[in-house]
Chains A and B, each alone.
Chain A
Amino acid sequence: EDKVVQSPLSLVVHEGDTVTLNCSYEVTNFRSLLWYKQEKKAPTFLFMLTSSGIEKKSGRLSSILDKKELFSILNITATQTGDSAVYLCAVGKTSYDKVIFGPGTSLSVIP
């Protein structure tokens, strides 16, 4: 059975801290790993990773994939209160673009 696991499930940090969110997966027919941010509404797309070892960056956020060890991390540096959200990890499969989501990590950034 396909499985996507995220850790920690919740996290509270102070503004300015750096955080690392983890995602591991056991999925057949892997095609891509995706990260989304959800703030009390619909998830919004952050990154898609398909190759191991290639870091993707967007501002203070970065992510990397290890296809051998079957995990990905999402780093957020110099956190701000606006980073407070649930971060969802998902794995895309090769069959008809099916996507399996993890349970999410709830991040709270306090001033």
Chain B
Amino acid sequence: DAGITQSPRHKVTETGTPVTLRCHQTENHRYMYWYRQDPGHGLRLIHYSYGVKDTDKGEVSDGYSVSRSKTEDFLLTLESATSSQTSVYFCAISDQDTYEQYFGPGTRLTVT
């Protein structure tokens, strides 16, 4: 299995609080992605990174920001959590040559 970890694995937070999710890889892959998965919507891209300090928005980026200061870490921040951000968040990585994406175990976030 690709070396991808996510932390925390589960989190319950209150509306209006900031939340940061961490994705850590040991594969030295260039590309990293954050997705959310909700019933009826499948996997939707939030933000992605194509190198250190190089990030771009996906299709559902409103209310989220990201940072990548090292190859191995990609952080997703919810500036002020809302109930609509209750979801399962997956991090993924891919190598420039293979294009296959490998997913982390996911973080289940509940915003009350």
Contact = CB atoms under 8 A, between A and B. Distances in A.
Interface of A: 31-32, 34, 41-45, 48, 88, 90, 92, 96-104
DSSP majority for the B interface? strand
B64 interface: no
A44 B102 CA distance: 7
Interface residues of B, number: 24
A90 B35 CA distance: 13
21 contacts: A32-B99, A34-B101, A42-B103, A42-B106, A43-B43, A45-B100, A45-B102, A48-B100, A88-B43, A90-B101, A92-B99, A96-B31, A96-B48, A97-B96, A98-B45, A98-B48, A99-B33, A99-B45, A101-B43, A102-B42, A103-B40
A101 B42 contact: yes
Contact of A104 (B42, B94, B100): B42
A103 B41 contact: yes
Contacts of A100: 45
Given A96-B56, A102-B42, A48 B103 contact: no
